[in-house]
Chain A
């Protein structure tokens, strides 16, 4: 009995800091943010309850909100399949018993762990109209380059392109998944005369479908939270380009939220945006894991 008691004491001692942190930095702010989303709040004056007006404003009167939804949606639809597909292709190559696996894996993983702010600045330089590496290379081929970073049509594609360097996490998770596919299945299918494509289509892909699925969901959630990359990219373009510019063409949802909260101090409005984001993340997480049972092959 005494041992049980002391174990309970140690349990609360050991988990105490984390539980206190959970209450102070997650649970309480979450509920307070829900309340704030129903208020008008500019940090300086006391907040005032205004019901659902923040949400109504966002949905019906705020063009910036819909612009940021559009930018984020385009990014998600284009970038996530490309990044996950690229990661899968790389993992398939690396799974082919290559020499120097550790070296290749590290090289392909490296861009994923670099600070996105620095990465965005470097790419901002590479895509410069004058003196940028890309335009210099194009001019060697006799092609006249564009002002990529300051053109509203091209800024978002450039951001998508640079984000494709960072596929290390899904790649490594795919590699783990591929290594758990039983070798005997491949041997057996070779006996039956199956080609490489048939093996990929009928053995590899079905068996790693949970991993594909996991990476897609993580990719979508990640793209909803893009901030550092877009913010640093805009700043690197000098004082003429506002964050989210040019002409709001890179106004990601997270960037728009930051501007509303810490640029204009519309704390209530920004909280409403944050809750819409949170609700959406919970929704796709729950919905997708339900949905996944139908088409994803699980081992048991």
Chain B
């Protein structure tokens, strides 16, 4: 068996370690800054570590600037979007995977072709209609599409996975008198937990991180989700914190950014292995 030269091994690990340091510096700097006082961030040369970690910054933005509202808004929207995606994508994927129906492949290809369609094309007509029926400045434009199989990529991913399940399982369940609905949720979905999880995580990331759609559809500040809330805060930071003009309270901004990023990191830490393998297997960007 071939063995690597020790010097090559040393170089490889050094490069990997340096690279990951560069990857993590922005995140570390964000967290460190969020724990500093305002004079500390202005200090020159910089104080690398906060002398006395200001955990109070978190309480300040959470309560003082009603950031909890944005946080729970984001939780609500993401939760509804994930529920809708799973509830409508699973049945569609099951039908496309197992039913013998004429022109099934054509219909599926038509659905898939919408992956090419950029959101910029559909957002203008949809905005006009949503404005007419009074949905603008509500969560409906963000949530309803996901309850109508809006995540075509999810349907694709689930179908690929479902197809690996032997058809005889389904035949046997039908013999036992199980309805199609029961077969789907009691047999197929429990057998496909990694795929369903991957779709769920993708959907969460897409919804939680999205700035474009909330920016278009939400106008009232109390409805804002985290990405929009962060920008609201920056736009009005001077007025909120009583700072002087042109001096953004970066320590508080970084506190907000941390609150927004942390759930993503925690989720990723829990599911990273399956998720990354799901990405590799699907070969499609989220």
Contacts and interface: CB of A to CB of B under 8 A. Distances in A.
A274 B15 CA distance: 42
Interface string A119-162: 10111011010110100100110000000000000000000000
Contacts of B15: 93
B60 interface: no
Given A118-B227, A176-B283, A25 B145 contact: yes
Contact of B126 (A29, A110, A187, A270): A29
Interface residues of A, number: 96
A94 B257 CA distance: 30
Contacts of A30: 117, 121-122
Contact of B150 (A21, A43, A123): A21
B143 interface: no
Q: Is the interface of B mostly helix, strand, loop or mixed?
A: helix
Given A17-B88, A122-B29, A235-B234, A281 B124 contact: no
A139 to B, nearest CB: 7
B26 A277 contact: no
Contact of A43 (B94, B128, B211, B231): B128
A247 B175 CA distance: 70
Contact of B23 (A14, A108, A261, A271): A108
A101 B53 CA distance: 34
B100 interface: yes
Interface in A83-101: 90, 93-94, 96, 98
Nearest to B1: A187
A106 B268 contact: yes
A114 B148 CA distance: 26
Contacts of A281: 116, 118
A94 B276 CA distance: 14
Nearest to B96: A15
B10 interface: no
Given A126-B29, A218-B285, A11 B42 contact: no
A282 B24 contact: no
A33 B250 contact: no
Contacts, number: 271
A15 B95 CA distance: 7
Given A18-B155, A117-B231, A7 B276 contact: no
A115 B208 contact: yes
Nearest to B121: A274
A18 B116 contact: no
A110 to B, nearest CB: 6
Interface of A: 4, 7-8, 10-11, 13-15, 17-22, 24-26, 28-30, 32-33, 36, 41, 43, 90, 93-94, 96, 98, 102, 104-111, 113-119, 121-123, 125-126, 128, 130-131, 133, 136, 139-140, 165, 169-170, 172-173, 175-176, 187, 190, 214, 218, 222, 224-225, 227-228, 231-232, 235-236, 238-239, 254, 257-258, 261-262, 267, 270-271, 273-275, 277-278, 281-282, 285
Interface of B: 2, 4, 12-13, 15-16, 19-20, 23-27, 29-30, 33, 41-42, 44-46, 88-89, 91-92, 94-96, 99-101, 104, 107, 110-111, 114, 116-128, 131, 145, 147-150, 152, 155, 180, 184, 205, 208-212, 215-216, 226-227, 230-231, 234-235, 246, 248, 250, 253-254, 257, 260-261, 264-265, 268-269, 272-273, 276, 279-281, 283, 285-286
22 contacts: A8-B99, A10-B95, A15-B92, A17-B147, A18-B111, A21-B88, A21-B149, A33-B125, A43-B128, A105-B276, A110-B24, A115-B226, A122-B26, A125-B250, A126-B26, A131-B250, A165-B23, A238-B248, A267-B128, A277-B118, A278-B116, A278-B120
